[in-house]
Amino acid sequence: MARSLTKQKIKAIRIRINRGEQEDKILSAEKISEEQLWHIRKDYNDVATPETTSKLKRDPLKNLESRGMLDEYHLLAADMIRSAIQIRIGGLGVKCASIESRVDQKGKRPTESESEWSIRVQEKYSLWMQLCVFEKPRIQTMPIIDILMEPVSFKEMDRAWGQRKGWTRDHLVRGLKLYCQTFQPKKNP
């Protein structure tokens, strides 16, 4: 649809979009259909520069899930570990928190408050860290934390830790499996 318009007309429409003009004004002024405007916006928003696309990295956890090494519970465990770390390193800035419990709309029963949830997540994280130390062979937790918190690949992490290929991946998979075995996370934690 947008292909039938000239490049100059598309450029003029994009300028109007960037200015924040209302959609109906653009449609009437440029005499185009809503579908054509939708395609112009889609083409404009979907285009990334080659520099940007070269820097994008696929999530290493999604790679492991697609290979069948992790399932949804392992990804949930990774999210819980990530949440605990973010709570701990969140700093002392101003935070909005509800200290009241809420009512679950499906089950109509009270749920835990935000502060109770954060305490529970941190306690699980601390216990998981201790279990990783006593696991034989020991599970290194720092590469797991690095992978979960930073957008890096396994190859980069192996190189940073001076280890063989697959070392970080092995520790991550073992660590997430230990978390799942210990706490048996559910879909709605």
Instruction: Note the pLDDT tens digit of each residue in 155-175.
Output: 888 998 888 888 999 999 999
pLDDT on residue 16? 74
Residues 98 and 21 in one domain: no
The DSSP bridge partners found for residue 110 are 103
Domain range holding 108?
A: 60-183
Q: Who has greater pLDDT, 73 or 184?
A: 73
Where b means 16+ CB within 10 Å and e means fewer, 9-40 reads bbeebeebbeeeeeeeebeeebebeeebbebb
User: How big is the chain, counted in residues?
Assistant: 189
Category of 97 on φ-ψ map: left (φ > 0), alpha (ψ -120 to 50) or beta: beta
Residues 8 and 96 in one domain: no
Residue 54 lies in a domain: no
Indicate whether 101 pLDDT > 80.
no
Residue 189 lies in a domain: no
Most confidently modeled of 14-23, 48-57, 113-122? 113-122
Q: Please tell me what DSSP assigns to residue 103.
A: B
Residues 70 and 162 in one domain: yes
**DSSP H/E element including 108:** none
| Contact present, 158 and 166 (Cβ < 8 Å) | yes
Indicate whether 111 pLDDT > 70.
no
pLDDT on residue 7? 75
Residue 53 lies in a domain: no
Return the structure tokens found at 76: 């949930």
Residues 66 and 40 in one domain: no
Residue 188 lies in a domain: no
Residue 84 lies in a domain: yes
Instruction: Enumerate residues 6+ apart whose C-beta is below 8 A from 75.
Output: 61, 65
Rounded-to-integer distance, Cα 181 and Cα 189, Å:
15
Placement of tokens 């396994």 in the chain: 154
Residue 69 lies in a domain: yes
Residues 130 and 70 in one domain: yes
Q: Who has greater pLDDT, 87 or 102?
A: 87
pLDDT on residue 109? 64
Rounded-to-integer distance, Cα 71 and Cα 89, Å:
27
Mean pLDDT, residues 6-19: 75
- pLDDT grade, residue 14 (50/70/90)? confident
Q: Who has greater pLDDT, 65 or 104?
A: 65
Residues 33 and 94 in one domain: no
Residues 97 and 154 in one domain: yes
